[in-house]
Amino acid sequence: MVVVWWSAAGLIHHSFLDSGETITAERYCQDIDEMHRKLQLMSPGLVKRKGPILFHDNARPYVAQTTLNKLNELGYETVPHPAYSSDLAPTTTTKFSSISTTSSVRNASTIDTMSNRPSSNSSLLSLKSSMQPG
């Protein structure tokens, strides 16, 4: 699975999970730290404002006390996630269609094989270019 972080300016950070690996609060906090570091370089104005706004769902790792403490430490404001609605979840239906249909990504068994395959890297580049403004 690929974990993707983006803003209106485009792709900020992505990471891969091993087959069968799930996101824990600790792993989510590591991704938050890495995304925050990259966002500071990419768009310092977003980080230096009153507080960046993070929109994420309400799955357990995302609302665990460890995660909430990390977001508070970095000064992030979170937006409550509404009930599921397909029009509010365009990522699944449009942005990742090329990734989900790429057999090499779908069948990759380890982080090494997935992150080093040209088709998965081109899918991420395609995702990144589709998120560029204009």
Helix segments in 64-116, DSSP class H: 65-74, 90, 97-100, 103-106, 111-116
pLDDT tens for the 134 residues of the chain, in order: 888 888 887 899 999 989 888 888 899 999 999 999 999 998 888 888 777 788 777 777 777 889 889 998 998 888 776 666 665 554 544 444 554 444 444 444 444 554 555 554 555 555 555 555 55
CB atoms closer than 10 angstroms to residue 97: 13
- What pLDDT, on the 0 to 100 scale, is given for residue 116? 54
CATH topology of domain 2-130: Nucleotidyltransferase; domain 5 (3.30.420)
Cα 93 to Cα 115: distance, rounded to the nearest angstrom: 22
Asked if 73 and 29 count as a contact pair (C-beta separation under 8 A), the reply is no
Q: How much is the pLDDT for 86?
A: 62
**Token pair listed for 5:** 């972080």
